[in-house]
Structure 1
Amino acid sequence: MAVFLGYGKINWSLCMPFRRCHSRMDRYKNDIDLQFVNEHFVWYFICYELMGSFYTNQDEMSTMKKVEYYYNNLGNWTAEEWVKKNFLNNPLEIERFNTILNYIPDSTSSVLDIGCGTGIFLHFLEKQYNIQGIGVEIAESKIKYAIEKMNVNAIRGDASHLLFEDKQFDVVTALETIEHLPYGTYENALKEMERVAKHHIIVSVPYRERRIRIKCPYCECQFNPYYHLRRFEETSLRTLFEHFKVIKFHKIGLQLRNPFSKEVQKYNCQSFPEFAICPACGFYNQSKSHHPVTKPLLNQKLGKKILRLPLVPKQYRWVMALYKRV
């Protein structure tokens, strides 16, 4: 079955869980205003397979433009509030930055940070090593914050098409970045990192992540709210690059968690975070007052009791890999 919507043709046989999307969207299309990254994508679906692949007949740049709004969306937070809450006031995040900074070789004079976000790592890099690195970021709101508040060099760009010379940077970093990249962009970004790095590459990613899913209130698509598309551990990290080998792994951020928290989230997934955007229909929480909420599958009181169970050691939150050119 193929469905034509606006500018794209979708083969629904590739993504059976979303066959209900079309009929449910017809039900709401007269009552809602879907916000896409630009008007050319109105009523164009990007199908998101549950394991994390994108199925679309658009080129990879169109795919990245489609999800660009996600990276600009900070929900109801200002940029300053978002940075303080998620990074500057988060001990685990500070630990992550400090750990990675300790692996910057002493001889380093140039650094490129891919997916630099709000420029916090580059700010710490300059403060500790007096190195003015360059950041590449897709979200304009974060670039603006990086330049104006963090006083770092940041440019808007695509990780899969870096506008730099071969071996231009002593160190290339990608910190909590590559797990977000869709198929096609991911493979090209790794090649580009390898091309522009002269000596070292540093990658940090969530470690053995058990990705949670939320449910879209409109099309019922279930997806990861953070757009994490793949899972990493030591074995998969060893094979990322052809001309670089891993010389060091470092696990960061040992966490204590309730062993049943993921199951509670799975069966009670009516909560739709303010920063989330459905990759199937484009829905996001623009105004919470009039949006339908999916019926919870687990009793709220029971869920709270389960979450009060004692915390147990789980695993490290991130793993960092240091690569050296061979």
Structure 2
Amino acid sequence: MSEAPFPEIEIRDSEQLPLMSRVEGVYLDRFGDAWDYQADAWKRLSRVFERLDSGGDILDVGAGSGQFANCLAWSEQFASVTTIDATRFGKYIELDDSIQYHEMSVGEMAFEDDAFDVVTCMEVLEHVPEEIFEPAIAELRRVCRGQLVITVPYREPEPISETHVRRFEDEDFLRLFPNAEFAILRRPRKPWMMIQERFDGQPNQIPLEVGREGRLRQAERERDAAQLRERDSAARLRERIAALEREVNALRGRKVVRAANAAGRGLRRIRSTARRR
């Protein structure tokens, strides 16, 4: 096998988010030994979740048992959570009344153009019949006005799963998603490919920071931004004080006592506010 031409993330070095563990616990309590969702899959969901734009309307294509839709709803980071699947899974459950579930084909979705800020489609396209495969990709793009994130098996070993109808090679990704960013979620035997496309003009780049170190770097960036905002606010306050001082001196020079006193009171109030900061 030739060396992969895409950046890689070792999925087993990633952390499973506490949110994912909470949802996983509900499924384990509900289904016990009959629940066989892999530990690596929860880490994959964690990696995807960390990269999603928050605050908008999100669609998860391929509801399955509802794991990811429930994580999205419990996170309270999205204005609305919608999920679809061609047929309802026997183990599908909803842990939040806000989830909107629909039975429909990814090849013909009954949503308006640009209906969602974020669209996710994980481990679905390898199951889609040939006659609707490329129409399904077009539909994902049609309903997305912002961020589209897809995962599929990467170079799945032969023989592929009996429920899969295709396998993906490097040239398939480059042909089907010419404007996308890619990252391989590496694990033994069956890695995944994470694909991201954007339709909102934002940079189309998958961050590769992993786990705790990545979160620390994000916290550092947020702290630096807050310090910059604080310095800007202090500079504007100093400029305002200087302007009022000039106004007071000008008024006093013209012996307009009443106006000068009023301006002086305003100056004292602002100085007092500045000292408290």
TM range, normalised to the smaller chain? Answer: 0.5 to 0.7
Aligned to 1:118, which of 40, 54, 65? 65
Q: 1:102 to 1:234 in 2, by over 3 A?
A: farther
- Return the letter of the residue paired with 2:193: V
Counterpart residue number, 2:45: 97
- Tell me which residue corresponds to 1:238: 174
Please list the CA deviations of residues 148-183 of structure 1 after superposition, one character each: whole Å capped at 9, or x if unmatched: x56532111111110000000011111000010011
**Within 5 A, what are the aligned runs for 1:93-172?**
93-106=41-54, 108-131=55-78, 132-142=80-90, 145-147=92-94, 149=95, 152-172=99-119
Question: What is the TM-score normalised by the length of structure 1?
Answer: 0.47
Q: 1:234 to 1:105 in 2, by over 3 A?
A: farther
Tell me which residue corresponds to 1:85.
36
Distance 2:34 2:71 in 1: 14
Which one of 233, 250, 254 corresponds to residue 183 of structure 2?
Answer: 250
Return the structure number with greater relative CO, CA threshold 8 A, min gap 6: 1
**1:159/1:207 Cα in 2 relative to 1: closer, same or farther (>3 Å)?**
same
Q: Which has the higher strand share?
A: 1
Pairwise CA distance, 1:234: 4.2
The letter of the residue matching 2:192 is W
User: How many corresponding residue pairs?
Assistant: 170
| 1:187-234 C-alpha deviation (Å, 9 max, x unpaired) | 211111111010111110011101326xxxxxxxxxx42x21111244
Structure-2 change in CA distance of 1:100 and 1:157 (3 Å): same
Asked if the contact 2:73–2:96 (Cα under 8 Å) also holds between the matched residues in 1, the reply is: no
Taking only the aligned residue pairs, the percentage that are identical comes to 25
CA contact (8 A) 1:83 1:118 kept: no
Q: Distance in 2 between matches of 1:154 and 1:209?
A: 30
Equivalent residue for 1:201, pick from 140, 148, 154: 148
Higher fraction of helix: 2
Aligned counterparts of 2:140 and 2:89: Cα–Cα separation in 1: 24
2:198 is the counterpart of 1:324: yes
The 1:184–1:84 alpha-carbon spacing in structure 2 relative to 1, beyond 3 Å, is same
Matching residue of 1:310 = none
Does the C-alpha gap of structure 1 residues 82 and 173 become closer, same or farther in structure 2, counting only changes over 3 Å? farther
Task: Give the partner amino acid of 1:204.
Answer: T
Q: Which amino acid aligns with 2:156?
A: E
- TM-score normalized with structure 2 length: 0.55
CA RMSD of aligned residues (A): 2.6
Partner Cα distance (2:101, 2:56) in 1: 17
Unaligned 5+ residue runs, structure 2?
1-29, 202-277
User: Where do 5+ consecutive residues of structure 1 fail to align?
Assistant: 1-78, 214-223, 256-313
Larger Rg: 2
Question: Would the alpha carbon gap of residues 191 and 82 (structure 1) be closer, same or farther in structure 2, given more than 3 Å must change?
Answer: farther
Query: What letter is aligned with 1:84?
Result: W
Q: CA separation in 2, counterparts of 1:238 and 1:82?
A: 40
Shift of 1:80: 2.8
